[in-house]
Chains A and B, each alone.
Chain A
């Protein structure tokens, strides 16, 4: 029993790491643009497909696909912000951006199905079945690799935000766009890069996901719900809040799977979302951003 719980805790933390990275991306979009980016998880699945296709075509480890997908997704994010989202009227931006990114999610899902059919896909690697024993629990190596990838990326993002002047501009834009503009920050440009960064997290997350999961085009719907619950619980716009909520909820999900099974354990996200909105609508770790949204 203890081994089972230890295993659940470790798996929960590993899953939470991936959630945290992806939720950080969602938070970035919301922070810089006040956009709820529904297509985030669709891009996640797209990246997973790209990693899978890269591996199938070349036989090289899918991790190397990151060299291409991360810059590509960054660029896509910048382009999306500049040519699509910034075209929307500010007054109705929140609502219309939801619809626009929803539309993009549908297009991606449809294209994935069109190009690679709806068949379930899975990468098989030399180390796919290998596992390590940690505190008496069996943990698949691919899960550790995926977590490592997510953790390193989150750390890099954190350093970027805290230590660079671009990060400073980004944080200023997230906290108060008008004030940042008054300080001479080109907030439009920063918003574009913020969007690019957000999408880059989807590229990394997708590759990590492809390592140990079976993928199919409509899989993104299973991700967007939990991710959105995480950013609300964490307080919209707060990256540390999102990371903490991601770990807590990932862990809860993993532990609840023992008594409840996979399906019902997923409801923990929605329950947390509902309770948060009832008790503390600004989220548990949120700053002032969340108050009016």
Chain B
């Protein structure tokens, strides 16, 4: 459904607060809440059971890859979802996270898990100057820097072979000793990714309900306006950007520990960054679970596609087409679209499904009028309910 919210015609005010007699609607809301909770529990239980449901080690490794996609997408969505700033270059942070872990463990010999966190902290610190450069002005520069950063890192990491191993690749020491067999490795990393996703989602949720989150969402909706209302936009964007780099880097580091080998071409790939965008966008960047849903659906589809057709040029075409379709036809993502569909089934709405838009408008007017009649300040309310886009009178300067 193309841009339902984009219609220029006035959307009749849905009685969102619910009329007192609307018990059917309220019952529906309660059931919907229960259904959502139920669905969430089922999804979590299923996710936890994957290692036992997977028939072989290969399928299990695919599950780890999809879990890593989800972790990347959630990390990306801190900046993409809250501020609406689309980064195409988040592979920079996942790649840097991977190399940080590898270099720290090989050169200092510290515990790989300590190196994982330490590496992410270092990447987060690096993100500060990058954020300062790219976030002072609006979106266009941000996107340009995000792409440029991946390209420059690719260049540097390929050329600086003495440290990074260049195109020969860099081996990452295994965190579990060799007595742990391959499938067991997969299982352990799978759960590690789940833990990381869980923590990231928790932080996302905390921000979402905070004053900081309200400011960020205001930036996404209208940055000038947010600034005028006193939101320190630059600082807010920078903080959430660094948080995003931190989580993306953690996911990249974990992936490096699992995969065991790093090649700049794959670590600093524009495609890796675009997966994060596609998955988050597909699921819905404004919702908590959107990126995870997107990662599971798109990630699964891509793995199947690769298995069927190989890693061919067709893969690029498919990826491009899917991205274009999502951008053009469902920029809000599937999770919000599905929720919208469900909400349309709400009893209050079902009874009027046959009505035309004009009738609907008429009905809402009647409801409004009734409400006004019950209100003492009726004359004042009337003044408020003028039709949208009333004549604008004189021109404006």
Contact = CB atoms under 8 A, between A and B. Distances in A.
Please indicate whether A and B come from the same complex rather than being unrelated chains: yes
Interface of A: 30, 34, 36, 38, 84, 87-89, 91-92, 94-96, 98-100, 102-107, 109-114, 118, 217, 221-222, 224-225, 228-229, 231-232, 236, 263-264, 266-267, 269-270, 273-274, 277-278, 281-282, 290-293
Interface of B: 3, 6, 84-86, 88, 132-134, 136-141, 143-145, 147-149, 151-152, 155-156, 158-159, 222, 270, 274, 277, 281, 312-321, 323-324, 327-328, 331
Given A102-B323, A291-B137, A89 B331 contact: yes
A95 B86 contact: yes
A292 B227 CA distance: 13
Contact of B148 (A91, A92, A217, A270): A270
Contacts of B317: 106-107, 110-111, 114
Contact of A225 (B6, B151, B159): B151
Contacts of A228: 144, 147-148
A36 B144 contact: yes
User: 8 closest Cβ contacts across the A-B interface?
Assistant: A110-B316, A113-B313, A106-B320, A110-B317, A107-B320, A103-B323, A103-B324, A277-B133
Nearest to A266: B155
Nearest to A95: B86
A109 B88 CA distance: 17
Nearest to A231: B144
B140 A99 contact: no
B327 A96 contact: yes
A94 B139 contact: yes
Contacts of A293: 137-141
7 contacts: A94-B140, A94-B143, A99-B86, A104-B320, A264-B159, A270-B149, A277-B133
B65 to A, nearest CB: 20
Contacts of A38: 88, 147
A140 B286 CA distance: 54
Given A102-B274, A103-B327, 14 more contacts: A36-B144, A89-B3, A92-B331, A95-B85, A98-B86, A99-B86, A99-B277, A100-B324, A263-B159, A264-B159, A267-B156, A277-B145, A290-B137, A293-B137
A166 to B, nearest CB: 26
B18 to A, nearest CB: 29
A99 B3 CA distance: 17
Contacts of B88: 38, 98-99, 102
Given A106-B274, A263-B155, A87 B324 contact: no
B11 to A, nearest CB: 15
Nearest to A114: B313
A269 B270 CA distance: 18
